[in-house]
Amino acid sequence: MISPSLFLPCAIFLTPVLRALAQSQSFAWDRLTPSENLEWVPCHSTYQCARLLVPLDYSDPSVGNAALAVIRFQANVSKADYGGPILFNPGGPGGSGVETLIPRGPEFHLVLGNQYDIVSWDPRGVSFSTPIASFFETDAERALWNAASFPTSLNASDDAIPHAWGRAHIEGQLAAQRDTTQIMKYMTTDNVARDMLRITQKLGFEKLQYYGVSYGSFLGAMFAAMFPDKVERILIDGVVDANAWLNANLTIAATDTDAALQTFFDGCAAAGPDLCAFYKPTAPEIAERLTSLTDAVRREPIPAITSQGYGLVDYSLLRMVIFNALYTPYVSFPPLAEALAALENGNGTSLYLMLQDVPFQCDCADDTVPFTANGAEAAIAIQCGDAAPVEDSIGQFTEFYQNAAKTSQFVEFFVGQNRVSCTGWEVYRNDTFKGPVAAANTSFPLLLVTNTADPVTPKAGALKMAARFPGSGLLTQDSPGHTSNVAPSLCTAFYFRQYFQNGTLPEPGTVCSVDATLFGASSNLTSRMPSPTTEEEQVLEALKIIGAVVKPVIAGKFWRT
C-alpha cells in the first residue's frame, strides 16, 4: 500500500502532515461513544472531536447506523462576529476529512476567515467512521493484494486491460461477499449529502455552508440538487461533471490533461537550464526528449534500489509519476525534471522515490483496532455505487479506452482505471438519487472554481455544471494543476472570502492569476506585488499548506479527484 504522505510534493509540507497522521493515530476515536448529537471532546490539542450516529438508510432506520468521525476547529471571534460552520470535504472519494483538517485549521481560518467553525468529517465507511468499507479481512491481506495488483498503465502491455478487468471482478466479488455491515451498499454520495444536512442541523443551523474540492465538488452539487432550499453557501473547486460521474465515463475529465503536460514543456523551456534539469531550448524538443526517455524505459526498465525500498522504474511507473505530477505542477515539476534527467543517465532513484511503495509492516496488534486506512476501497464503493452499473466486456472496455485515448494521451490511469474498477462492481441499491444533479433555484447561488489546465477536472466540466445551476458564479484561475489550491493566488483567496463573508460572486468572466511560477521562474510577480503585506504573506503560506491536500493516488490504484 502506498503511503499518502509520500505523495506530498515538498518537504515543508511533509512535516505537518506526518505530525497529523501520528496525531490522528494517537487519538482513540473508539473510546468515544457515538451519539445522536454532536458531543464534542477536545482532541489534537486545538480541535474538538465527536462521533455522530446517522442512519445507514434514511428511509429505513431498522437497517442500522453509521458513526461518523467529525472534527471541528472553532471560530476565533466574539459571538457577534460568529459566521457559523463551514463543512469541508477533501475529495477522493474516500479522503479523510479528519486527517485533512487536523494540521490545517489555522490555515483555513487565514484563507476563509476566523469567524467560521471549520468542520470536517470522515464520510461514512471511510477511515475513522464506522463501520468501515473493506474488501479485506486483515491489513496484511489488503497489503498483499495491493502489492500484487500494483497499478500498471493500461497501455503497458497487451494483457494490461484484461488483467485490470479481471482484478476488478475479484474485488467486486470480494466486496459483495464481505459487505456484511452493508456499509458499502449505503455509502453512495446521496447519503453523504444527507449526512451533511444532518451534521448542519445538529450544529444548530438549517442551511449548509460548504467548501468542497475535487470529488467534494460532486458532493456539493448533489447536496444542492437534493436540498436546493438548504444552501447558504456552496463553493466547489475542481469541478467534476456529474453526468460523467454517474455514467462512470470520465472521458471528459481528460480534456485538459495534455494541456497540463504542455505547461511542463513550456515552463521548462521558459525557466532555463538552471531551474529545469530536463531543459531544451524549445518546448517541442523537451516533449521529444520525454518521448525518447519513455521509449527507452519501455525497452529497458531501470532497477532502483534505495534506502527506502526497491523496484523497477518501468513504463508504468514512469508514466504514473508524470501523470501524478500534473496534479501539483508548482511543487512537482522541478523535482520531476531532475528525476527525469537522472533517469536518462541510468539513475532511477529519484524517480522511484517519487512513487515509492512503503514496505508493509505487520503490526499484529493493529488487527484489533477498528479503524484502518481504506481509501481505495471506499473510493471504489462510492464511485461505482453512485454510477449506473457498468457491464462492459473486456472488448467493450477496450473500445471505451481507445475512444477516450482520442481525448488525451493520458487515459491509462484516472479515466481508464476508474471505469474498469466499476466493471466488476456488484453492490448497488435501486433507490439512489439518480439526478438530474441540477437545480434552477438554490436558496443561495453556488460558486464554482476551475483552473485553465486541470489534468482531471477541466474547465469544460465546470461549464457544464455551471449551466446546471443557473445563477451560480464561475471563477477561473489561470494555472495548471488540480484545483485552485495547488497554486497560491491572493486573487482567488479574495473571491473565496467575498463569497463566504459577503455573499458576493465574481463578475462573469473573472480570471485570477496566481502568485507563483512554474519552476520558480522569475516573472512580473514582483512588479505586481512589490511588497506583500504580512497578512498577504500569511495567506499565501496558508494556501500552500491547504494545497498539499491534493494527492492523486489512493493505495496505489485508484486515482482521486
Ligand X SMILES: *[C@@H]1O[C@H](CO)[C@@H](O)[C@H](O)[C@H]1NC(C)=O
Sites of contact with ligand X (CB under 6 A): 76-78, 155, 249, 251-252, 342, 347, 349-350, 400, 403, 405, 409, 412, 430, 440-441, 497-498, 501-502, 523-524
Residue number, 137 or 295, with CB nearest to ligand X: 295
Q: DSSP E strands: which ranges in 30-159?
A: 41-43, 47-55, 65-73, 84-89, 116-121
Site of grid cell 521548462: 268
Residue number, 95 or 113, with CB nearest to ligand X: 113
| Contact in structure between 449 and 458 (CB atoms under 8 Å) | no
Q: Which is nearest to 415 in space by CA: 153, 149, 220, 90?
A: 153
Calpha distance 326→433 (Å, rounded): 33
Residue number, 138 or 157, with CB nearest to ligand X: 157
In sequence order, the 6+-apart residues with CB closer than 8 A to the CB of 197 are: 208, 223, 227, 230
Least separation in angstroms between residue 68's CB and ligand X is 23
> What pairs with residue 448 in β-bridges?
236, 474
Least separation in angstroms between residue 502's CB and ligand X is 4
Residue number, 249 or 485, with CB nearest to ligand X: 249
Least separation in angstroms between residue 414's CB and ligand X is 13
Site of grid cell 534539469: 277
Calpha distance 307→311 (Å, rounded): 12
Least separation in angstroms between residue 515's CB and ligand X is 13
Residue number, 273 or 303, with CB nearest to ligand X: 303
**All cell numbers assigned to 178:** 464481505
Least separation in angstroms between residue 523's CB and ligand X is 5
**All cell numbers assigned to 333:** 515539476
Least separation in angstroms between residue 141's CB and ligand X is 29
Least separation in angstroms between residue 76's CB and ligand X is 4
Residue number, 23 or 443, with CB nearest to ligand X: 443
Residue number, 372 or 452, with CB nearest to ligand X: 452
CA atoms in the 13 A half-sphere facing the CB of 546 = 29
Residue number, 331 or 354, with CB nearest to ligand X: 354
3-state secondary structure of 18: helix
Q: What is the 3-state secondary structure (H, E, C) of 265-327?
A: HHHHHHHCCCCCCCCCCCHHHHHHHHHHHHHHHHHCCEEEEECCEEEEECHHHHHHHHHHHCC
Least separation in angstroms between residue 310's CB and ligand X is 13
